[in-house]
Structure 1
Amino acid sequence: MGSLQLKSIRKAYGTHDVLKGIDLEVKDGEFVIFVGPSGCGKSTLLRSIAGLEDVTSGAVLINGTDVTVTPPAKRGISMVFQSYALYPHLTVKDNMGLGLKQAGTAKDEIDNRVEKASSMLSLAPYLARRPAELSGGQRQRVAIGRAIVREPELFLFDEPLSNLDAALRVQTRLEIARLHRSLKATMIYVTHDQVEAMTLADKIVVMNAGAIEQIGSPMELYNRPANVFVAGFIGSPQMNFIPAEKLEQSGAKTVGIRPEHITLSREQGTWAAKVIHVEHLGADTIIYLESDQTGLLTARLFGEHKYEPDETVYATPDTGHMHRFDENDQAIRA
């Protein structure tokens, strides 16, 4: 399909830099996700790849060809947006095939591609329907199908699941993952949801304030975050951060421990703490604690556990899973 190279991509509006010199390489067939908080520049970066935003400086290369000033329609990309952007008066079949029709593709070829894409996305029974007759999830699948039939070099997704409810997000996420395996296509996907990023990506690009904080596989970012920002952004509930001086940890400013790496006991343990709040989730129990030694702590226990607010407990961290960060919030590697 397609490879992508970004070389020192900078995007500025006046004196405000939205993208601050982005360098990135995406290999043929990879599923890469840009993730980060609102305003970090991830959608601007995606739109710069698509050609919907002109870059201030730097170069965009697709399959080794410089497309920095190439119009979007000639970059060999297909984009799926947060909004479905379907024509209400056209059927599913016509919506999916419209771009090919406008490009002058033969009718038989359009029919073949639409049939293939609709089969992949379980849309075959709905080809004669119009968007108003479809659910939100079905409409998003039509938008994805419209991208598939163009057989692009790159698929670009801009927060495609944001308008769906929780159950449909999970279902559509699974369909996108299956689609990637089936097409072996290069996909670049933007989301603010780190769960989406962790479950879909081959490689995650964590962005903050227009710059890349870390690039790696989901578990690389989870197990070896480069800094406090990545450690706090990846993982739910968020990693606990404790001033190192409170734990008498020399050579570090901050110590991090994930909620699932803390055990609780009513008898004894490392830190005495008071239960503030308990969330019973069935498969997990999330317990919020206050300790004089550490401040606010979150513990995640597997299964159902009976703890009550104001109860005194003892929290013990798994020291083998502690993360240490220096005065610049960078990870200290052992």
Structure 2
Amino acid sequence: MGSLQLQSIRKSFGNQDVLKGIDLDVKDGEFVIFVGPSGCGKSTLLRVIAGLEDASYGTVRIDGKEVSAVPPAKRGIAMVFQSYALYPHLTVKDNMGLGLKQAGESKAVIDQRVAKASAMLSLDPYLARRPSEMSGGQRQRVAIGRAIVREPKLFLFDEPLSNLDAALRVQTRLEIAGLHRRLKATMIYVTHDQVEAMTLADKIVVLNAGQVEQVGSPMDLYNKPANLFVAGFIGSPQMNFIAAEKLGQSGAKTIGIRPEHIALSREAGDWTGKVIHVEHLGADTIVYLETETTGLLTVRLFGEHAYAPDDIVYAAPDTASMHRFDAEGRAIS
């Protein structure tokens, strides 16, 4: 009911090529997240799917039907934006049902769908309120509810959590994940936050400069990044990159090792370093050290550790967890 196929999608604004040939296949019911740095083209790609932007070249198919000439309202999609875009003079109930009312649905259908969406999102106590009487998280739930009542083939989310504080982002993220499980709907979600991508997605599409760098499950991207860009983008703190020649490694240009795959000791290890900064996070300790062999190295340790700046320490990488990249930045299997 909600499959999506993109073939050779290109989009240019004047001489600026924003999308440079995007191919993607999204299966019915999948939760797919577009992630990448600012300006990579992820929001533009979402708008092309929605029909809010015309592709310069290529085809968009929803449920196998080519929709390039189909207006947004007829594509069977519902979009949730970063801004809530609620009408301030309408109640929550009327905001959620407005799209159906404008489409000519009966009052009985509107009431039934609004009631169902409201129950899903725990909005029943707020149906008579106006947006100004609600928190940011509640307003975002109303915007999601407005999308649910349309019963679309595709849900499109454009950075929906960006305006929320940290605690509300976590709460709303859980609500969106639960919503996907209950609706079993196809969802396309844009974010620059890799934590959202890793925790919500069935499949992540990593975009960079208008091109797809890699598509895969969160753990595929974490464990088997296709290139240096994906390796550096997925994972926090970022993967350490070391010139292969410094480690005596042949057949590779760069060696990557994640901070959590390095052990620290005060007695012995492969690399001797001096601690330059420590972040005590409670559950984790992040240690930054400088070694002659590797340069700046980031180490992530589980739990609390009493390292301090200027300590001399020894680092030992898990060699089985090292990643190797060639001169073009491609992963070497």
Which TM-score band applies after superposition, normalised by the shorter structure? over 0.9
What are structure 1's unaligned runs of at least 5 residues? none
Counterpart in the other structure of 2:60: 60
Distance in 2, matches of 1:262 and 1:249, equals 18
Q: Which amino acid aligns with 1:92?
A: V
What are structure 2's unaligned runs of at least 5 residues? none
Secondary structure of 1:25's counterpart equals strand
What TM-score, normalized by structure 2, do the two folds share? 1.00
The answer to whether residue 183 in structure 2 is matched with residue 183 in structure 1 is yes
Distance in 1, matches of 2:232 and 2:69, equals 37
The answer to whether residue 270 in structure 2 is matched with residue 270 in structure 1 is yes
Distance in 1, matches of 2:304 and 2:12, equals 50
The answer to whether residue 29 in structure 2 is matched with residue 48 in structure 1 is no
Cα deviation, residue 278, structure 1: 0.3
Cα deviation, residue 15, structure 1: 2.0
Moved over 2 A (4+): none
Distance in 1, matches of 2:256 and 2:67, equals 43
The answer to whether residue 123 in structure 2 is matched with residue 123 in structure 1 is yes
Q: Which amino acid aligns with 2:186?
A: T
Distance in 2, matches of 1:202 and 1:269, equals 38
Q: Which amino acid aligns with 1:78?
A: A
Counterpart in the other structure of 1:322: 322
Cα deviation, residue 209, structure 1: 0.1
Counterpart in the other structure of 1:101: 101
Distance in 2, matches of 1:203 and 1:69, equals 28
Counterpart in the other structure of 1:133: 133
Distance in 2, matches of 1:138 and 1:15, equals 41
Cα deviation, residue 54, structure 1: 0.7
CA RMSD of aligned residues (A): 0.4
Cα deviation, residue 274, structure 1: 0.4
CA deviations on 1:185-228 (whole Å, 9 max, x unpaired) are 00000000000000000000000000000000000000000000
What TM-score, normalized by structure 1, do the two folds share? 0.99
Distance in 2, matches of 1:161 and 1:216, equals 23
Counterpart in the other structure of 1:73: 73
Distance in 1, matches of 2:114 and 2:73, equals 20
Q: Which amino acid aligns with 2:213?
A: E
Distance in 2, matches of 1:145 and 1:176, equals 11
Map residues 1-334 of structure 1 onto 2, 5 A cutoff.
1-333=1-333
Distance in 1, matches of 2:323 and 2:277, equals 25
Cα deviation, residue 128, structure 1: 0.3
Cα deviation, residue 270, structure 1: 0.3
Secondary structure of 1:108's counterpart equals helix
Cα deviation, residue 242, structure 1: 0.3
CA deviations on 1:281-321 (whole Å, 9 max, x unpaired) are 00000000100100000000000000010110000000000
Q: Which amino acid aligns with 2:184?
A: K
